[in-house]
Amino acid sequence: MDRPLMISALLEHANRVSGDREIVSRSVEGPIHRYTYHDAHTRSRQLAKALTALGVQLGDRIATLAWNTYRHFEIYYAVSGIGAITHTLNPRLAPAQFTYIVNHAEDSYIFVDLNLVPLIEAVAADLLSVKGIVVMTDAAHMPESNIDNLLCYEDLIDGQSDDFDWPEFDENTASSLCYTSGTTGNPKGALYSHRSTVIHAYASALPDVLNLAEREVVLPVVPMFHVNAWGIPYGATMTGAKLVFPGPMLDGASIHELLVDEEVTFAAGVPTVWLGLLNYWRENNKSVPSLNRTVIGGTAIPQSMIESFQEDFGIEVRHAWGMTEMSPLGTISLVKPNVPAADKAARYRSQIKQGRPVFGVDMKIVDDDGNALPHDGKAYGELMVRGPWITSGYFKIDHSEAHDHDGWFATGDVCTIDPDGYMEVTDRSKDVIKSGGEWISSIDLENQAMGHPDVIQAAVIGVHHPKWDERPLLIVVPAKDKTPELASINEYLTGKVAKWWLPDDMIVVESLPIGATGKVLKTELRAQFGDHKLPTA
């Protein structure tokens, strides 16, 4: 039967078959909040009615500026459920980018968490399309503010009954919108549909992907404002998994407390967050017995982090790769069953790669002329992808350079693909270091350098060299009480990378600049250190 795939059906199903399964949140107001899928379904329908009463129509953009909590979850379902578009805004954006995005999307309402209201106050006068701001709290916590038409979330839904049937419409209707980080040029909007979101949710739940199931307890540390928390609010709901939302507190101690108290089995996030947690565990001699698995992605994971999770704490690491334009799931790295448990070197070689495509994602690598390259693990070229949850263009942009006529999307990642299908990201095409006509992978160098005991974080950029064009400059954050030396790091790297890859110089910094989505900002490092004079020059 040709039945439309509807996002509201996910929550309706969870209500029907897993209605008593819990959704636990660290609220922005402070206390832990707990309720069930049944409660979430009731309140989402109340909110759907409230939105309709506000005049929200099919296709309207309703923005959120919010942490991972139950209220954000309700908005996801209520907004998309009535055919409007949930537009997630990243609170870590600079005000100018933030304003650009709201005006480009023409958001009509913004739902904002209590502690993020000042971000809106700072730019309110410049938000041209916004009719009202809804503070995601109750009357008792409403802030004093000079914003026009400030509404209270709990008051908004309080007056509504839940006597509401989710409407059915074309599954290709837009459901949510997320702008790319925009490291070059203006951010661009990736628009998802009900169909793409539900198919992505099915795929994400597969055992060899996120392995979502009713018996799982899932903590998405990855924010709901970054590619819909990798789709977990949909996949978890589809399966009735217990959800644990960390709210605004993402430090090691706060995450640890939730992991232990809620007996979390699976958590997902970017490497910088896990670095904080691993440090907390080591410094306080703690661990989390219930936690079996973590999915880490967004940037490459150093092998030292995978080793630490698996060998020190007994937690399986699944390395994932994806993009905003891909909803985001692209590949995931699991070790093939025929690799012996004892062959640790081979296992880590697989895990360090970004992994094999999830069913639904087609991949190829191409040279500068667009010719397909062999999948031999050696040839590298730009990765092209296509699939039912990959965006076919950008919101309100007529022509996208990244989309070709044959329906492939150019990712901007330079990759290899091996005969088993494992993709490995060598670099972003703009970060690759061109030395004497050959390429050096900054990601590979960074990962290896982070294995050195004196180094906690590393980034590598290419700087000008009169003979070689570019040579690698290593920038490191030292481990606690350590003083890294280039000679010792290069000795450690010898044999792990080609000799001509060894960095020509090193700079020690207190911290690396991290962007709004948890990635090291290479552009900022290049602006700061791009003119560095190498001793070899």
What residues make contact with ligand AMP under the rule CB under 6 A? 180-181, 227, 297-300, 319-324, 328, 354, 411-413, 425, 428, 517
Task: Name the residue nearer to ligand AMP (CB basis): 87 or 242.
Answer: 87
Give the number of residues written for the chain.
537
Task: Name the residue nearer to ligand AMP (CB basis): 246 or 328.
Answer: 328
Task: Name the residue nearer to ligand AMP (CB basis): 299 or 350.
Answer: 299
The single-letter DSSP state of residue 208 is T
Catalytic residue chosen out of the listed positions 137, 180, 239, 411: 180
d(CA 478, CA 506): 12
- Shortest Å, Cβ 519 to ligand AMP: 6
Which residue has tokens 């650009």? 100
Is 10 within 8 Å of 198 (Cβ atoms)?
yes
67 is catalytic: no
List Cβ neighbours of 110 (8 Å cut-off, separation of 6 or more).
Answer: 62, 63, 64, 65, 89, 102, 120, 127, 130, 132, 133, 134
Number of helices (H), then strands (E), belonging to the chain: the values are: 17, 25
Task: Name the residue nearer to ligand AMP (CB basis): 6 or 221.
Answer: 221
- Shortest Å, Cβ 456 to ligand AMP: 19
Helix (H) or strand (E) holding 534: none
Whole-angstrom Cα Rg for the chain:
23
274 is catalytic: no
Catalytic residue chosen out of the listed positions 22, 183, 272, 439: 439
d(CA 195, CA 94): 32
Is 402 within 8 Å of 409 (Cβ atoms)?
yes
The single-letter DSSP state of residue 211 is -
434 is catalytic: yes
Q: Which residue has the closest beta carbon to ligand AMP?
A: 324
d(CA 298, CA 443): 13
Cα-Cα-Cα-Cα dihedral sign, residues 258, 262, 264, 267: negative
Sheet strands (E) in 127-201: 132-135, 150-152, 174-179, 189-193
- Shortest Å, Cβ 361 to ligand AMP: 13
- Shortest Å, Cβ 383 to ligand AMP: 8
| Tokens linked to 373 | 């390259």
d(CA 491, CA 502): 9
Nearest Cα residue to 218 out of 205, 208, 200 = 205
d(CA 477, CA 454): 9
Task: Name the residue nearer to ligand AMP (CB basis): 171 or 424.
Answer: 424
Helix (H) or strand (E) holding 365: strand 362-366
- Shortest Å, Cβ 149 to ligand AMP: 32
272 is catalytic: no
- Shortest Å, Cβ 75 to ligand AMP: 21
Task: Name the residue nearer to ligand AMP (CB basis): 216 or 413.
Answer: 413
- Is 428 exposed, middle or buried (CB count within 10 Å of its CB: 0-12, 13-18, 19+)? middle
Which residue has tokens 């990201």? 425
Is 405 within 8 Å of 393 (Cβ atoms)?
no
Catalytic residue chosen out of the listed positions 336, 344, 434, 500: 434
d(CA 299, CA 181): 13
- Shortest Å, Cβ 301 to ligand AMP: 7
Task: Name the residue nearer to ligand AMP (CB basis): 107 or 431.
Answer: 431
- Shortest Å, Cβ 52 to ligand AMP: 32
Catalytic residue chosen out of the listed positions 12, 325, 424, 470: 325
Task: Name the residue nearer to ligand AMP (CB basis): 132 or 412.
Answer: 412
Task: Name the residue nearer to ligand AMP (CB basis): 184 or 285.
Answer: 184
Which residue has tokens 């209707």? 173
d(CA 110, CA 231): 21
Question: Looking at this protein, which amino acid is placed at residue 150?
Answer: L
- Shortest Å, Cβ 409 to ligand AMP: 11
- Shortest Å, Cβ 299 to ligand AMP: 5
d(CA 298, CA 221): 12
Task: Name the residue nearer to ligand AMP (CB basis): 247 or 330.
Answer: 330
DSSP 470-518: EEEEEEEEEPTT----HHHHHHHHBTTB-GGGS-SEEEE-S---B-TTS
Catalytic residues: 180, 325, 434, 439
